[in-house]
């Protein structure tokens, strides 16, 4: 090959490809910016994972080049795609608390409704992501100048397509799917940041996509016999003929106490009712996500199945819930009439079909909440109005059966800049900069939620006085509001402990008759009385005096040793300290046993033993 031909090949083929690869590095940086990756993690992605993510982005450019035959067009289009993806990911993370993942494809309807209630602020990061598309356009312009368009024959097109396909295959195989890939195959844990920050956005997304094929991870060392052996130490109770109390379980939207992570200096007591309930168990449940993920919290509360084994999905959208073992199936075995309600649309997370698959006798949505009372300009029904409408639904349930109601509230959903400042009921004294107004409106929502709890308890006290019906009310927050990490004091705790605090939402279990087992649900070593949301339902059952399945008994034993089983450093022991596997062999055994039982319950590679999850 003569010098002129080499020069022509360099100008028209090699250099445009290198410029396309440079644009891929820009795309990689846009995506990391959108994820909020810290400088330390960003530096840690070199020398392996930063190039791997850029090459992964380059795969899209190669695919477009194979189709279009022009490097300039492929670079410009792929750059636009990654710019839009980065912007969407930024707002998803900022408002939802986690990165945009493949699972969200089935959640677009819910996401659109949620996004409609938020104001999308144009921040410095947003402007930086958008402006980074300009150098990509400049690179595409140079590519266009280097290689003048000319028609390609079939042979040249075939070589282009095969070369691009071979390059894509090589990048993905060596990077992700070979026996010893550059990025380890299984890195997902409790916190999505552990994968996305260390290995990069695209690398994390590829792992998340691979998990969708079989979203439930099989624990190491699992066998059906091992699961049965764990449950054998906690035999199920016999069902006795007696009158069980009614149960009202509430997942309260964004119900959170900011005093866990910052000194508010508020001008009013925010939780005067729930902070001092008599005849109640008080504490904190630890949700599976920070600042979002209601459906994951809802699933854990109802099923006691940890999202640790299915970290990449929205459970109601992905799992087959027909005949699933849950709190619903458990109380129905005890003769309960069951009802689930939400004062908003029934389309979010496919709630109507999911609740019916779980076995609820009745489901009710916004049309069945006629009070329509709102706080200022906020478009969500207040908790006070919701509880009054729920009382009407409660009274219409069968009188000759114990009743179980499950409610997902809506009042305190974001965003928190919908009302005029003069409508705020609480004001924080600490300076939160651009989040001052947001914090005041949010705290005002919490004050209203707290007052509504007082109204609900007063109602059920009257129910007991007038009818003698015993009622247990159990409420927990689904997650902290989306801006929690923006205002948290980063010096208040170590990063992992801070993340647990950001996930710790208040709960209470109260009854309109004397609770006899309160001491069994209060930690002697953790002042916050924390437990995983997966442990909430068995704790409610224990406080209600219900007979317990082997599954629930095991969970209550786990709570004594490792009350938070989905912690970032693997789990939290009863003294409130996060532990890694290997620190304590006895605690490890309880945690492993929990995951064995969960996998026996829902894993595709397990033969479920229903005797473990049902009463005799």
The residue ranges of every structural domain in the chain are 3-211, 224-612
* Nearest CA-CA partner of 474 in 404, 527, 524, 529: 404
Beta bridge partners of 525: none
pLDDT of residue 9: 63
The residue assigned the tokens 């003069």 is: 422
- Residue 545 tokens read as 């005096």
119, 327, 416, 493 from 435: Cα distances, Å: 13, 38, 10, 21
Measured in degrees and rounded to the nearest 5, phi and psi for residue 590 equal -65, -40
Q: What is the DSSP letter of 374?
A: B
| CA 168 to mean position of chain CA atoms | 32
Evaluated on CA atoms 212, 216, 217, 223, the torsion sign reads negative
When computed from its CA atoms, the radius of gyration of the chain, rounded to whole angstroms, is 27
Sequence length of the chain is 616
Sequence-ordered list of residues with C-beta below 8 angstroms from that of 270, at least 6 positions apart, any chain: 257, 264, 426, 443, 446, 447, 450
Task: Centre a 10 Å sphere on the Cβ of residue 46 and count the other Cβ atoms it contains.
Answer: 9
| Spatial distance between the Cα atoms of 596 and 222, rounded to a whole number of angstroms | 6
77, 252, 288, 598, 613 from 479: Cα distances, Å: 38, 9, 8, 23, 27
Q: What is the DSSP string of 183-206?
A: S-S----S-HHHHHHHH-HHHHHH
- Residue 54 tokens read as 């850029």
Measured in degrees and rounded to the nearest 5, phi and psi for residue 77 equal -70, -45
pLDDT of residue 196: 87
Cα dihedral 23→29→35→38 (10° resolution): 180
pLDDT of residue 94: 79
Give this prediction's pTM. Answer: 0.84
210 CB-contact burial (10 Å; exposed 0-12 / middle 13-18 / buried 19+): middle
Q: Write the CATH number of the domain with boundaries 224-612.
A: 3.40.720.10
| CA 267 to mean position of chain CA atoms | 32
Contact predicate 296/307, CB 8 Å: yes
Low-confidence ranges of the chain (pLDDT < 50): none
Q: For residue 532, give the 3-state DSSP assignment.
A: strand
- Residue 9 tokens read as 């090949």
Beta bridge partners of 280: 510
pLDDT of residue 148: 63
Percent of the chain with pLDDT over 70: 93
Measured in degrees and rounded to the nearest 5, phi and psi for residue 510 equal -125, 155
| Spatial distance between the Cα atoms of 252 and 254, rounded to a whole number of angstroms | 6
19, 74, 143, 164, 469 from 14: Cα distances, Å: 9, 15, 10, 13, 80
């Amino acid at each position: 090959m003569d010098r002129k031909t080499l020069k022509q090949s360099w100008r028209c083929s090699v250099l445009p490809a290198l410029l396309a690869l440079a644009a891929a590095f820009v795309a990689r940086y846009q995506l990391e910016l959108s994820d909020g990756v810290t400088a330390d993690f960003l530096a840690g992605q070199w020398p392996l994972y930063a190039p791997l993510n850029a090459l992964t982005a380059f795969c899209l450019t190669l695919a477009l080049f194979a189709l279009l035959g022009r490097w300039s067009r492929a670079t410009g289009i792929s750059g636009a795609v990654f710019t839009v993806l980065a912007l969407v990911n930024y707002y998803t993370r900022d408002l939802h608390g986690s990165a945009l993942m493949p699972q969200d494809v089935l959640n677009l309807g819910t996401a659109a409704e949620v996004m409609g209630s938020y104001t999308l602020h144009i921040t410095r990061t947003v402007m930086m992501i958008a402006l980074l598309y300009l150098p990509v356009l400049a690179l595409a312009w140079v590519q266009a100048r280097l290689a003048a368009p000319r028609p390609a024959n079939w042979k040249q097109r075939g070589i282009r397509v095969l070369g691009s396909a071979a390059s894509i295959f090589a990048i993905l195989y060596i990077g992700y799917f070979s026996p010893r890939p550059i990025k380890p195959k299984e890195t997902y844990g409790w916190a999505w940041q552990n994968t996305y920050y260390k290995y990069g956005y695209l690398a994390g997304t590829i792992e998340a996509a691979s998990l969708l094929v079989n979203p439930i991870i099989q624990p190491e060392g699992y066998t059906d016999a091992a699961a049965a052996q764990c449950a054998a130490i906690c035999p199920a109770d016999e069902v006795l003929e007696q009158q069980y109390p009614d149960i009202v379980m509430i997942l309260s939207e964004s119900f959170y106490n900011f005093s866990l992570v910052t000194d508010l200096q508020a001008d009013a007591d925010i939780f005067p009712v729930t902070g001092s309930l008599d005849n109640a168990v008080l504490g904190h449940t630890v949700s599976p996500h920070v600042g979002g993920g209601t459906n994951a919290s809802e699933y854990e509360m109802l099923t006691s199945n940890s999202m640790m084994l299915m970290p990449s999905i929205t459970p109601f959208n992905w799992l087959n819930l027909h005949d699933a073992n849950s709190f619903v199936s458990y109380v129905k075995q005890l003769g309960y009439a069951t009802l689930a309600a939400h004062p908003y649309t029934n389309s979010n997370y496919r709630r109507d079909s999911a609740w019916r698959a779980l076995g609820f006798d009745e489901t009710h949505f916004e049309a069945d909440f006629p009070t329509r009372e709102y706080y200022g300009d906020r478009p969500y029904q207040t908790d006070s109005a919701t509880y009054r409408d729920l009382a009407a639904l409660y009274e219409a349930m069968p009188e000759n059966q114990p009743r179980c109601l499950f409610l997902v509230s809506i009042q305190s959903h974001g965003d928190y800049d919908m009302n005029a400042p003069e409508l705020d009921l609480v004001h924080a004294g600490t300076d939160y900069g651009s989040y001052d107004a947001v914090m005041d409106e949010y705290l005002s929502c919490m004050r209203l939620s707290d007052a509504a709890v007082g109204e609900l308890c007063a109602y059920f006290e009257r129910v007991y006085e007038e009818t003698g019906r015993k009622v247990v009310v159990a409420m927990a927050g689904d997650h902290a509001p989306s801006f929690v990490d923006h205002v948290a004091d980063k010096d208040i705790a170590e990063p992992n402990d801070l993340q647990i605090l950001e996930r710790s939402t208040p709960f209470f279990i109260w009854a309109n008759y004397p609770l006899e087992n309160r001491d069994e649900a209060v930690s002697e070593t953790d002042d916050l009385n924390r437990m995983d949301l997966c442990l909430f339902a068995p704790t409610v059952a224990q406080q209600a005096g219900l007979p317990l399945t082997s599954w629930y008994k095991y969970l209550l034993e786990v709570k004594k040793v490792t009350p938070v089983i989905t912690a970032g450093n693997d789990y939290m022991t009863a003294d409130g300290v996060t532990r890694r596997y290997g620190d304590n062999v006895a605690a490890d055994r309880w945690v492993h046993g929990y995951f064995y039982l969960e996998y026996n319950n829902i894993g595709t590679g397990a033969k479920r033993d229903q005797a473990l999850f049902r009463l005799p």
